Structure 1
Amino acid sequence: MTVQNAIPVIDLFAGPGGLCEGFSSVNDDEGNSRFSVKVSIEKDPVAHRTLHLRALFVSSQRGKAPDIYYEYIRGSVKREEFWRTPKSKKPLKKPIRGPMRGAGFDTSEVVDGWIRAALGQQKNWVLIGGPPCQAYSLAGRSRLRGKSPKDLKAFESDKRHFLYTEYLRIIQQFEPSVFVMENVKGMLNSTHGGSSIFERIMGDLREPKEGLTYEIRSLVVDGDELEPRDYVIQSENFGIPQCRHRVILFGIRSDVVKKTLNSLTIHACSC
């Protein structure tokens, strides 16, 4: 179930929906969803099909999807037949597919319209997402760089180094209370033009524009003076049966941090 005061979530560069799954699974003591994923935006058509299918399951009452859902999963019915059925046409959390700016398209106005419509009058919300990582991963960098000067030039000009700027643009435009950005561990030592990609991203996210700042926290290491490796989450340490290491940046808007600290101080003084 979803409660009216569930925190809105916008999922950018959603992929097949891993981060969305995590947020959708968080419930309060009464079993109500604490987060409401309003829209997932993804360019890749295969990933989008996964998002759409999963949305039907998650939005089904108590996670019980119609029988035809399981028939489709088993391969008993074709995709076209599955989506023609009334019970599968209107999942409550239908993700939106759309090409992202920086990948050969300029759809910022369209994307902004989707987000604006999804948020309505909500001011406190969460932005999540993982900009494409091919230019940061070790395998991707090896493949893209190649061995010739021509390959190196192509690597340096690859637009996927800077797809995070669309994520940054959304922060600048809509000023989420909180954001969670995920990427591969290779971004920590990836460089472009001789400078650190990670340092550039951290600088941009800490101060997306004049008058707007965020504190970037780690989900696994306390403190303010952190090393790049402190932002890495090793999934095998949290009950996941795979060695999947990812950089997770947890950003909190500075005024939200200040308000929270003031509230905690007042509460402590009244005890």
Structure 2
Amino acid sequence: MKGKINTIDLFAGCGGLLDGFLQEGSYNSLACVEWELYPCQTLANRLKNKWGHINAANEVIRFDIQRTEELFNGFDDEEYGKHKGLDSVVGKKRVDVIIGGPPCQAYSLAGRIRDANGMRDDYRNYLFESYLKVVSHFKPKFFVFENVIGMLSAAPDGTPIVDKIRKAFNEAGYIVTDDFKNALFDVADFGIPQHRNRVIILGVRKDAFQTTEVINSILSDFYNVFMPKYMGKTRTVRDAISDLPPIFPSKDIIRSGGRKYSHTPISNDSVLNHSPRFHSERDQQVFAMLAEDIESGANRYTSIETLKALYTKVTGKVSNIHKFYVLRWDEPSNTIPAHLYKDGLRHIHPDSKQARSITVREAARLQTFADDFEFLGPQMAQYKMIGNAVPSQFAKIIAASLHSLIKKYC
């Protein structure tokens, strides 16, 4: 391939996957599709101000990908506004790679635990079909499909979803790995300061290469040669967030700009999105106690059962999942989830003096977003879009591995 490698990003969110591809330097974004408002605003802002896309507002298409024909040809919609469509944005440009992954809640193990019907009736189980329609339409040589580990065991109608995906892509003219377990990675193994298991499916168009043996070599190189090359030293919570300004509890509730604060806002406004959510005095006391328990080495509240019992004692509620967790300074973080927008109980700052959950910027650091990546919208929407994102530095590794394949085989 000559020149930049052109991409389309589906289920783009705020752009964690795309930002990694653009950081790699070999790729050019033609268009992105996302249906939530604040991630679209955030992504368009990033494309314009960081990557120089002056038409970013048109390139980021806010629409429901399930309405595929309208997505291609244009729409005038009460919810999503008016747009000429994806075909108009792409024009006659060659689409080389399609990237993205459908929302993962329907496949996630936690989601299946919380849902009374195990997410079997969730429409998101089949959003890969919409992804496939776009791939079939543009016929790129490659696609990168990202999702959660729960995808490997999901079988909403009794048939494993991985079998459906493999069969559907094969019928559309693409070959993927025979064993999706080979496609499972913990991003912590690649120097990301967070444990996060993700399935990365590389698809290769059959008729773009002479033989199936060549395609099998491409897939083998991706999973067994190029991706492993980037495995590196473990990075910890300390590495990621310890240099950020501390934020301590305030003696009194602070009201400013229509918000109330339990912690004193930092005076250094050069750090974007670095303000914690409001915490009650009760929660602050619990957070401080749990962090002190680890700092002192007492470790009275480090087992799941003791944490569940504490939650019941504090709230009077019973939970099947332990709700409290303090990040460890010298380990990678636990997974940063979209659920973080609902509460921060499982992402408590390790400094007991700060007695709070992590800020949006701290969550972004653990997801390896650059400090100049600005998240727009309400704070809860910012937490959600960060939790839904691919860590941008891991995305950069995927992009570099794919670029190595392209240089070798194309």
> TM class, shorter-chain normalised?
0.5 to 0.7
What is the CA–CA distance in structure 2 between the aligned matches of 1:242 and 1:173, rounded to whole Å? 36
- Provide TM-score, normalisation by structure 2: 0.46
**Which residue identity lines up with residue 116 of structure 1 in the other structure?**
D
Higher-Rg structure is 2
Counting only pairs closer than 5 Å after superposition, residues 59-74 of structure 1 correspond to structure 2 as: 59-60=51-52
Does residue 53 of structure 1 match 2:57?
no
**Which residue identity lines up with residue 165 of structure 1 in the other structure?**
E
Contact kept, 8 Å, 1:232 with 1:248, in 2: the verdict is: yes
Deviation of 1:58 after TM superposition, in Å, equals 2.3
Counterpart of 1:6?
Answer: 4
Correspondence for 2:29 among 17, 33, 37: 37
**Residue aligned with 2:209, SS:** helix
What is the CA–CA distance in structure 2 between the aligned matches of 1:164 and 1:137, rounded to whole Å? 15
Counterpart of 1:216?
Answer: 176
The unaligned stretches of length 5 or more in structure 2 are 75-84, 218-410
Deviation of 1:96 after TM superposition, in Å, equals 1.9
Counterpart of 1:120?
Answer: 91
Counterpart of 2:186?
Answer: 234
Counting only pairs closer than 5 Å after superposition, residues 103-182 of structure 1 correspond to structure 2 as: 106=67, 108-112=69-73, 114-144=85-115, 146=116, 151=117, 155-182=119-146
Counterpart of 1:207?
Answer: 171
Contact kept, 8 Å, 2:121 with 2:156, in 1: the verdict is: no
**Residue aligned with 2:4, SS:** strand
Change (3 A) 1:136 1:261: closer
**Which residue identity lines up with residue 45 of structure 1 in the other structure?**
L
Change (3 A) 1:119 1:201: same
* Cα shift readout 1:84-121 (whole Å, capped 9, x = no counterpart): xxxxxx7354442322244xxx3532345533223322
- Identical aligned pairs, as a percentage? 33
Contact kept, 8 Å, 1:14 with 1:20, in 2: the verdict is: yes
Q: Does 1 or 2 have the higher relative contact order (CA < 8 Å, sep 6+)? A: 2
Counterpart of 2:313?
Answer: none
**Residue aligned with 1:243, SS:** coil
4+ residue stretches of structure 1 with deviation over 4 A?
259-262
What is the CA–CA distance in structure 1 between the aligned matches of 2:138 and 2:73, rounded to whole Å? 9
What is the CA–CA distance in structure 1 between the aligned matches of 2:95 and 2:33, rounded to whole Å? 19
**Residue aligned with 2:144, SS:** strand
Contact kept, 8 Å, 2:95 with 2:138, in 1: the verdict is: no
Does residue 21 of structure 1 match 2:23?
no
Deviation of 1:17 after TM superposition, in Å, equals 0.8
Counterpart of 1:99?
Answer: 63
**Residue aligned with 1:249, SS:** strand
Counterpart of 1:67?
Answer: none
Q: For the aligned residues, what is the CA RMSD?
A: 2.5
What is the CA–CA distance in structure 2 between the aligned matches of 1:257 and 1:52, rounded to whole Å? 35
Deviation of 1:8 after TM superposition, in Å, equals 1.2
* Cα shift readout 1:16-42 (whole Å, capped 9, x = no counterpart): 111101210122xxxxxx211011110
* Cα shift readout 1:171-227 (whole Å, capped 9, x = no counterpart): 22221111101011100001122110111111111222xxxx21214xxxxxxxx43
What is the CA–CA distance in structure 1 between the aligned matches of 2:16 and 2:73, rounded to whole Å? 22
Contact kept, 8 Å, 2:12 with 2:34, in 1: the verdict is: yes
| Greater per-residue strand proportion | 1
What is the CA–CA distance in structure 2 between the aligned matches of 1:58 and 1:112, rounded to whole Å? 29
